[in-house]
Amino acid sequence: LILFQKGQSTTPPPFEIFFCFGEEWPDQKPKEKKLIMVQVVPVVARLLLEMFSGELSWSADSIPLQISHPDLKDKMVEQFKELHQLWQNQQQLPPAPPEPG
């Protein structure tokens, strides 16, 4: 993700996770032909990719949370907001010179 954000990779990193149930996988059959396939998309990974690619259409301050007791989720949201603020600050800086070599 960092290499993609810096422009050192032309393809975004994959963040989907696939699970196959009831059959061997991977094998010669494409995953579309499997009996039971589950695709898990971590929301945080998708949001980070959208944020770095400029496709993010909402503000991190607009995330509605209704958590009664502070826990790991609260810490993750705070870290995400800090990362979003760092990204916004970086967008305002002039581009860094290319690294030698």
Query: Mean pLDDT per segment of 10 residues, for the chain of length 101 residues?
Result: 81 88 90 89 81 63 51 72 81 67 59
- What is the Cα Rg of the chain in Å? 18
* pLDDT score, position 56: 59
Sequence spans of domains, the chain = 1-57
At residue 21, the pLDDT reads 93
Any residues with CB less than 8 A from the CB of 1 and at least 6 apart, and which?
A: 12, 13, 45, 48, 49, 52
CA distance 43 to 86: 19
